[in-house]
Amino acid sequence: MKRFAAMTAAASMTAAAMTAAPALAQDDMAEADRAAEEMMAEIYVYDTVDYKTPSQIIANLLDRGYTNIEEFDVEWGSYEVEAVPPGGTDEMEIEIDPVTGAITDIDENWF
């Protein structure tokens, strides 16, 4: 678990890196992609599974109108993103299934 906690911390992105829509910080995205690859390898030890990379998820959210993407965490079995939904003004915490890319939960971000 310590190793995965380190991956989660390493995959977190800064607000400044995520608010520049077309030019997301490449180093941060590459780190999140690596963390996702490790997570999927640990979860699906005996299977090969296709999954959406953090880069693909961010691109999809931007295409769908999400803004102010401030953080992207690779959690155990899911991705968590903090962003403002289309037409919204308040930041939400969005949980995304890494295999399907589907949004599985949206909560108000109290922080």
16 CB-side CA count, 13 A: 1
Structure confidence at residue 80 (pLDDT): 92
- Residue 53's identity, in one-letter code, is T
Sites in the chain below the pLDDT cut of 50? 1-23
The predicted model scores a pTM of 0.66
Structure confidence at residue 63 (pLDDT): 95
DSSP assignment string, 38-103: HHHHHHTTTS------HHHHHHHHHHTT-EEEEEEEEETTEEEEEEEPTT--S-EEEEE-TTT--E
Alpha-carbon gap, residue 50 to 62, rounded angstroms: 22
